[in-house]
Amino acid sequence: MLFASSGIVLAVPDAFGQGTLTPPGAPAATMKSLAQIEPRTPISSAPFTITNSGSYYLTTNLTVSSGNAITIATNGVTLDLGGFTIASTAASATGSGIYLNSASRNITILNGFIQGGVTNNGSGVYSGPGFQNGIDNNFLTGVAPVNTRVVGISVAGCLSDGIYLTFNDTTLVDACTVRTVGGVGIFAGAVKSSTAVDCGGNAIYGNVVSDSVGQCNGSGNGILAFTTANNCDGSSFSGEGVSAYTALNCLGFSSSYYGLAAYSAENCYGESSSSYGLNATSALNSYGKCDGSTTGLSATSAQNCYGTATGSGLGLSATTAQSCYGYSGGGVNALLATTAHNCYGGELFGLERQWRWGGCFYRAELLWPKHQWHRSGCQPDCHRLLWHQFHRHGIAGVDWQFKPWRQHFRHRGIRHLQIQHAVIHF
């Protein structure tokens, strides 16, 4: 075909050439395989020992009849249980669901269950088949694990410990649960958002413990935090409910020991059936209650606090108490302090020395029988007069060495006034 324009002649072919229409071969895959993205090794039977670094995952539930189910014998391992369960049928509890060799590091264990058959007879005696421990390591004879995380694991029915990583600041247990173990529930450098109940030893033990619940049926503690316990709930039968250097927003209960014990307690509640409800060097905005024979709240410095004792103990005992309330239902100490400001004391005791009060009110329970009073010439109506004098003045801002009060009683022939178990000398 010819075209002419401005004296130029162009030759154009009649048709364009075509290539072959036959495909070179079958289409190739364009997506990467799981092995290419994250090379993972499946585990479909137990016992199984991991000797190479990498990522491993369960493909099914695993059961062993004795010993360890999975042993991690190297560093740099991620083990994903994938929601499956590791169990043991050993007649006498032995081995661990997952065991870490000495000096393990860079380990992650997540998403699954470890199940034994151990039970608690209701009296703190644990026995039965299955695993000795849920997750354990041999730090007693070797080196404790570091850079190790356990996330989303549930352990139940072990004779000794649930999740035991040791006290290392680079070990973490997060969002885990432990139930019915004869020893420690969870032990790690940091424990968060976890629960351990029905434990024979310390339910949760860590350097920092937060947003967790621990319950001990033996002599251990519900929550034991070497430095800080934050937003925790701990209870124990014969140990401390919550024990920490610093306790923030915590609740502690014990049947026979301290409900909550801390160097510093803030916004906390401690209760005990027979010992200190809350015992701290510094207590701020806290509440202590004792249902037995000791002290509701005991602190060197107590501010905006409440203490009560329904047995024969102190309601609140502090060197310095400010804006506090102390009550004792058992006839002994209500509020015992060297310096108290804006406080209320239910029952009076310990006024044998000079105390300083500011804006406080004490409800003094006077003992009326004649043998309780050392007096001369005071008739029954004198008792009523003195009672009204106490209430009229509200025992507010009263220094018991204050001369007018001393003269008031001496004028009536009273030299020694006994209030509850305290004797005031005029």
Q: How far apart are CA 335 and CA 324, in angstroms?
A: 9
For 286-336, where are the alpha helices, taking DSSP H only?
Answer: none
- DSSP single-letter state for residue 326: E
Q: Tell me which H or E stretch contains 410.
A: helix 403-411
Distance, CA of 229 to CA of 211 (rounded, Å): 8
Whole-angstrom distance, CA of residue 292 vs CA of residue 276: 9
CA pseudo-torsion sign 386, 391, 395, 397: negative
Backbone angles phi, psi at 274, to 5 degrees: -150, 10
End-to-end CA distance of the chain: 137
Given the structure tokens 């107590």, which residue do they identify?
A: 302
DSSP string of 347-400, one letter each residue: S---TTS--EEES-EE---B--SGGG-B-SS--HHHHHHHHHHHHHHTT-S--T
- Nearest to 417, CA basis, from 339, 395, 397: 395
| Pairwise CA distance, residues 140 & 166, whole Å | 10
pLDDT attached to residue 14: 58
Amino acid 102: pLDDT: 75
DSSP for 17-47 reads -----S-SSSPPP-SPPHHHHS-EEEE-SSS
For β-strands 119-120 and 335-341, DSSP reports them as: unpaired
Q: What is the predicted pLDDT for the residue at 325? A: 78
- Closest to 203 measured CA to CA, from 218, 193, 211: 218
Q: Read off the tokens for 24.
A: 């070179």
State the 10-residue block means of pLDDT for the chain, 426 residues long.
56 61 73 73 97 96 97 96 97 96 90 97 94 90 86 98 89 98 97 98 97 95 97 96 97 94 95 89 90 78 84 76 74 64 56 36 36 37 38 38 42 42 36
Residues whose CB is less than 8 angstroms from the CB of residue 358 and which lie 6 or more positions away in sequence, other chains included: 340, 341, 342, 397
3-state secondary structure of 202: coil
**Residue 219, pLDDT score:** 87
Dihedral sign for Cα 263, 268, 271, 277, please.
positive
Cβ atoms 173, 150 nearer than 8 A: yes
CA distances from 125 to 196, 221, 354, 399 (A): 17, 17, 52, 56
